[in-house]
Structure 1
Amino acid sequence: MTDTSAPVLLQPPREALPATLPACVPADLPRPRAHDGFHDSLDRAMASTRARLTMGVSPYAAASAWQAWATALLKAPGRQTDLAERFWQNQFQALAGLWDAKHGFSPSADDHRFDGTGWNTPLSRVLIQSFLAAEDWWEAATSPQRGMNPRDSARVSFMARQALDALSPSNVALFNPDVIDRVTRSGGRCLLNGAALMAEDWLRDGILHAEQSETFVPGQEVACTPGSVIYRNHLFELIQYAPTCSTVRAEPILIVPAWIMKYYILDLSPENSLIRYLVAQGFTVFCISWLNPGAEDRDLSLDEYRRDGVLVALDAISRVCPGARVHACGYCLGGTILAIAAATMAREGDDRLASITLLAAQTDFSEAGELMLFVDEAQIAYLEDLMWAQGYLDQRQMAGTFRVLRDRDLIWSRLVRRYLMGEEDQDFDIGAWSKDATRMPYRMHSEYLRGLFLGNRLTAGRFAVEGRVIALKDISAPLFVLATEKDHIAPWRSVYKTALFTDSALTFALVCGGHNGGILSPPSQPGRGFRLGSRPAGARYVGPDDWNARHLKQEGSWWPHWVGWLRAQGTQVEAAPPQMGVPGTELASLCPAPGRYVLQR
């Protein structure tokens, strides 16, 4: 049943291929209002000022979580007694660890702050054991309490962990033996270099801002797979890559990247490029390169990314490769919009998709990890107030959110190396890409947060396209769904839930690494591994933990296995490569890849 609680707003596309798509209806959510009269504008201006001061983070969400935690603890004398006992037990265990490390606290396997040999001195052992004892106590103190909202409990635990990470002895020059050793060997020059780097960062854009790379430039060292931009509209450029084989598969590939970052995470340096690998395997590859929106694009909607993005790209490919069905591949947020587009196409009887691949992409957001902790009405309103004044969410604000999720590695370790040891940031391709962020349009981001993150409408049966609800189970094309083991943005169990809401044949891959690193898995790279399993169409659902237990880990890259899967979904027909675009039409070659939009700052 269609949710009719929100008004439906018609907005025709500003630019599209001739006679391709009917006018579409944005997602069934109220359109954010830019102006509602003087009084409303005054309130929004004040709220926007507050939001800028807090970088878009709502203090109310944090305060309410701590209040709920304290109230629950005050009403639980048994828990208070248990925490008091744990405090003293931790002190005795920390003392025991000073004489024998086996009896004390040990850092977790992924905590490398105290790995250096200098941390074995008596003073360092005191600091480490005291700090780890505090970490253990706070982990217990912020664990779920009976009668407390689980989200508030998780929020308090997250904030306590962030505070402890900031207070780690590894962040203090006088306590960190690695820093002391560097100062001694350099005669103090490293501190002078660090002070110069800090001043440079402050004058440029703040200490947490990462300057864009001058070593890895799109079109030169990265995003350099040969090709042409064959189509451009107000939202994206479509890149067609030049073939390297005398014959190619009949079915082309369309890659739909996330618009939260630049597309070339999938086309980094040549030896690390998934796109170049696909071209070398005999596929005709197309890729969307999204616009980096500005204030003038504030009213771009979520549905425009489906309608004027994914569907228009498919129409263009259908003209370059007439009659061919398309392998569609979406990464991260691009996978989410691809799933929405595919479900809409299935509802309309559009069978142009030969297969659908979703890489680290979520369709259900009920278990979306730590990003969900502060996504509530108060937080979204704060972000909307921030975006209201500037028309978009700035890339620095977005990048800061992701850094906080991995603060040990992306904030504190970097600050220690840069400001205490005087080391310049090391430049490498994926690091350069991570600094090349994009902005998020006001309207789209609000619809995305409210409709998907907060409302989880897609799998709840309340996400409407063109005024009618869509269902993922309408998709009949075979699915390849990939998740990464250490994903802090799209946790693998959340990605796996696509299997719960679809009925078509599905292959699921769980690969080593994180959200970005797990995707980059060229066959030449050692130390890679994955689990792979398939289910036929209509098979019974198997939960994520059962699936994990049933499938053994395989060594190597998942790329060749995915290529084999793509070939199996095609017609096995090979032919001469298609021409680049359609010369003499609006699909003619406009400029060499990577195009203009990827260079927008």
Structure 2
Amino acid sequence: MAKQPDSDGKLPDPAVWAENWTRIAERSQKLLSEFASHQQNETAPANPDPLNLTGAFMAMTANLMADPERLVEAQVRFWQDYATLWANAADRFLGKESKPLIEPDKGDKRFKDPAWQESAVFDYFKQSYLLTARWMKDTVRQADGIDPKVARKVDFYTRQFVDAMSPSNFLLTNPEVLRATAESNGENLVKGLENLLDDLERGKGKLNIRMVDEKAFEVGRNIAATPGKVVYQNDLMQLIQYTPVTEQVYRRPLYIVPPWINKFYILDLKPENSFIRWMLEKGYTVFVVSWNQPDATMVDKTFESYMREGILDGLDAVKKATDEDEVTAIGYCIGGTLMASTLAWMAAKGDDRIKAVTFFAAQVDFTEAGELSVFTDEDTLKYLDSLMAEKGYLDGGEMATTFNMLRANDLIWSFVVNNYLLGKEPFPFDLLYWNSDCTRMPAKMHGFYLRNMYQKNLLSQPGKLELAGERLDLGKIKIPVYLQASREDHIAPYRSVYKATHLYGGPVRFMLAGSGHIAGVINHPKAKKYQHWLNDTKTNPADVEAWTAGAKEYPGSWWDDWDKWLSKKSGAKVPARQPGDGKLKVIEDAPGSFVKKRIVD
């Protein structure tokens, strides 16, 4: 290990510095050699631009050129801003006071190091970048009259480029990296190259950025560790019944259907933030679906398969385990979309076993589905079809990359800086461990979901979507609904979620939580974090803006409000039920074997 600098600020040791730069050159040569070798083994893509980004940007450019005067005005404003920045920078170099021309957005962590403000040079780098980024984003947004889907694609990928070009992502323009390089005699870069080589090896030639210290966690030991038993399983899922912690429980069991895009234990991370453990403490008999990891044997699984083998088979199993015909239910994200589809199907069949339902961040009307809609235009779907055709499923890494791109600075570039430039190890963070625990998507199911929900928006239109022989109508769902959305959710935007308030046929209680797709849901009351909004109007307004105008803000978690709502719909108290006491025998301990299947293994 290289000698660290003395506390008196001595210059780096020239011998150690030279040694480390020699090692950097050697590691770089190996890196380039392995990358070149991988590229030689790769088959050139038949279509080098499968997402048709070229066509999208050409359409945008043609539109801008049709009104050159507006483009020139934007360019002149940009030059004027740069001239002002130059003048301000000159003042700072002369020791004069100079107010920033532009500041990073609130919450932008890229420029948190004090040198970005204190150093005239790095302050100039930062402001120059921010001005250019603003000009680029504003310019592409000026293109009027093009297809809204094309405009969204251009805007999204422009922001990806802008994020990648941040000076914080490069050695010579990041003061924290330069400081670390000087203090460690370049040891950080040696370690960073080792991390980069390890990530390329893990990704079999593709960059698979390690976001978390995976050795710090083990499913079933320190996460997903709430006691329970697997009491039922089929090809698609395992059903977990959790061990009660109260002597009395509500008569109606609580049946939870999580998304299969991620694994269920987001609801059961550490004991102090476990939603499942909290529900047990509140006196509910909790059942959770744990989806299997799709492989080549599951290529024929469809959206209907997830309904039949997931929700419907699970409901039959809950009946056998508890001898109860009636349950309450939760659907989270895509699990909520499936739950709504299933409830509409059950309503058509006269099946009323579910007496109340809660939706976490679940969309059923996709007209304002947010940035994920960028990935559901026809060009992208054809590309995904080609990726899934050979194996019969979409690799989990593709899904992870898609979601990470929605928050590239936090979920991509921050790790590039930490792992490769600073040469640090990732932190042991349970949420990032869960985020890195990827799952695959069966091709037929995933294609059906993207085309019929995101692209065609059929579920929101009565009778337009057929599932297992029934045309679905959400208006036939007459049971009470608790609808959760999060104010900063970038996956299921609250404006999109709110649309469901006028699609279901029964009473809907809408609740808006602070934070995003995960923290807005998983927010234990003891944490005393964030806030939530409620509007006790008997009739939900036509749009969410009107709802929020009349809503009252409450500090902390929304879980207690939801418990008050659900407890009134869960029946009288009965003696607690132990897993295995009913007609279903225990298969294995929770969290079961399905959730432990990891792609990286």
TM-score using structure 1 length: 0.87
How far did 1:146 drift? 2.8
Structure 1 97/498 Cα, relative in aligned 2: closer, same or farther at 3 Å?
A: farther
CA distance in 1, matches of 2:424, 2:291: 34
Unaligned runs of 5+ in 1: 1-47
Query: Deviation per CA, 1:144-196, whole angstroms, max 9, x where unpaired?
Result: 43321122122212111111111111111111111112222223221221111
> How many angstroms does 1:59 deviate by?
3.3
Higher relative contact order (CA 8 A, sep 6+): 1
Structure 1 residues 83, 400: CA separation in 2 closer, same or farther (over 3 Å shift)?
same
Please give the secondary structure, in 2, of the residue aligned with 1:402. Answer: helix
Task: Tell me the residue number matched to 1:318.
Answer: 319
Q: Paired residue for 1:508?
A: 510
CA distance in 2, matches of 1:561, 1:325: 22
1:232-247 alignment runs, 5 A limit: 232-247=233-248
Report which stretch shifted further, 507-516 or 329-338: 507-516
CA contact (8 A) 2:394 2:440 kept: yes
Offset at residue 58 of structure 1 (A) = 2.7
Residue 33 of structure 2: aligned partner:
none
Where do residues 96-245 of structure 1 align in structure 2 (5 Å cutoff)?
A: 97-98=88-89, 99=91, 102=99, 104-119=101-116, 120-205=118-203, 206-210=206-210, 213-245=214-246
Aligned-partner SS, 1:589 = coil
Instruction: Go from structure 1 to structure 2 and tell me whether the alpha carbon gap of 1:90 and 1:350 turns closer, same or farther (over 3 Å shift).
Output: same
What letter is aligned with 1:325?
Answer: E
Offset of residue 101 of structure 1: 5.4
Measure how far apart 1:485 and its partner are.
Answer: 1.6
Q: Is the 8 A contact 2:487 2:494 kept in 1?
A: yes
1:597 to 583, 589, 594: 594
Q: Tell me if the contact between 2:541 and 2:547 (Cα under 8 Å) persists in the aligned partners.
A: no
Per the alignment, residue 495 of structure 1 pairs with 497
Contact 1:96 1:104 in 2 (8 A): no
Determine whether 1:556 maps to 2:548.
no
Q: Name the counterpart of 1:522.
A: 524
- Native 8 Å contact 1:216 1:222 kept in 2: yes
Matched, 1:78 2:60: no
**Mapping of residues 471-486 of structure 1, within 5 Å:** 471-486=473-488
Q: CA deviation at 1:50?
A: 6.5
- 1:11-410 aligned at under 5 Å gives the runs 58-60=50-52, 62-95=53-86, 97-98=88-89, 99=91, 102=99, 104-119=101-116, 120-205=118-203, 206-210=206-210, 213-410=214-411
Deviation at 1:72, TM superposition (A): 0.6
Q: 1-side partners of 2:279 and 2:428: how far apart?
A: 26
Residues 540 and 287 from structure 1, CA distance in 2 versus in 1: closer, same or farther, beyond 3 angstroms? closer
Q: How many residues were matched structurally?
A: 546
When residues 451 and 49 of structure 1 are mapped into structure 2, their CA distance, relative to the original with a 3 A threshold, is farther
How many angstroms does 1:531 deviate by? 0.9
Secondary structure in 2 matching 1:517:
coil
Contact 1:228/1:589, CA 8 A, preserved across alignment:
yes
In structure 2, the residue matched to 1:20 is none
Q: Does 1:580 align with 2:582?
A: no
Deviation at 1:96, TM superposition (A): 5.2
Q: Deviations over 1:280-303 (max 9, x none)?
A: 111000000001010121110001
* Cα shift readout 1:329-356 (whole Å, capped 9, x = no counterpart): 0111111101111111122222211211
* Distance (Å, rounded) in 2 between the aligned partners of 1:468 and 1:249: 33
Structure 2 CA distance for aligned equivalents of residues 372 and 560 of structure 1: 33
Shift of 1:78: 3.0
| 1:446 equivalent in structure 2 | 447
Supply the distance in 2 between the matched residues of 1:279 and 1:410 (Cα, whole angstroms): 33
Q: How far off its partner does 1:500 sit?
A: 2.5
2 CA distance for matches of 1:315 and 1:189?
59
- 1:309 Cα deviation (Å)? 0.7
2:38 counterpart residue number: none
Distance 2:98 2:497 in 1: 39
DSSP 3-state at the match of 1:553: strand
Cα distance in 1, alignment partners of residues 552 and 47 from structure 2? 49
Q: Return the letter of the residue paired with 1:574.
A: K
Deviates more, 1:522-531 or 1:399-408: 522-531
SS of 1:248's equivalent in the other structure is: strand
Residue deviations 1:28-58 (CA, integer Å, cap 9, x gap): xxxxxxxxxxxxxxxxxxxx9666997xx83
- Which residue pairs with 2:19 in the alignment? none
On the 8 A contact 1:93/1:103 being kept in 2, the answer is: no
Residue 259 to residue 225, structure 1, CA distance change in 2 (3 Å): same
In structure 2, what is the Cα distance between the partners aligned to 1:433 and 1:411?
A: 16
Residue type of the partner of 2:591? P
What is the alpha-carbon distance in structure 1 between the residues aligned to residue 151 and residue 413 of structure 2? Answer: 25
Distance 1:148 1:93, change over 3 A: farther
Output the CA distance in 1 between the equivalents of 2:137 and 2:131. Answer: 10
For the residues of structure 1 that align with 2:210 and 2:303, how far apart are their CA atoms? 28
Give, in whole Å, the separation in 2 of the partners of 1:52 and 1:546: 50
Q: Distance in 2 between matches of 1:149 and 1:355?
A: 41
Distance 1:97 1:482, change over 3 A: farther
Name the counterpart of 1:42: none
User: What is the aligned counterpart of 1:469 among 468, 471, 475?
Assistant: 471
Instruction: Kindly indicate whether the alpha-carbon contact (under 8 Å) linking 1:169 and 1:175 is maintained by their aligned counterparts in 2.
Output: yes
1:421-460 map, 5 Å: 421-460=422-461
SS of equivalent residue, structure 1 residue 373: helix
Where 1:548 maps in the other structure, the secondary structure is helix
| Contact 1:506/1:534 (<8 A) preserved | no
SS in 2 for 1:160: helix
Residue 569 (structure 2) aligns with: 569
- Cα distance change on mapping 1:342 and 1:96 into 2, 3 Å: farther
CA distance in 2, matches of 1:479, 1:532: 14
Structure 2: tracts of 5 or more residues without a match: 1-41, 92-96
Query: Does the CA-based 8 Å contact 1:252-1:285 persist in structure 2?
Result: yes
TM-score (norm. length: structure 2): 0.87
Displacement of 1:314 in angstroms is 0.9
Inter-partner Cα distance in structure 2 for 1:540 and 1:215: 46
- Counterpart of 2:504, as a letter, is T
Matches of 2:160 and 2:358 in 1, distance apart?
Answer: 35
TM superposition shift of 1:466: 2.7
Rounded to whole Å, the distance in 2 between the matches of 1:150 and 1:337 is: 28
Q: Deviation of residue 541 (structure 1)?
A: 3.5
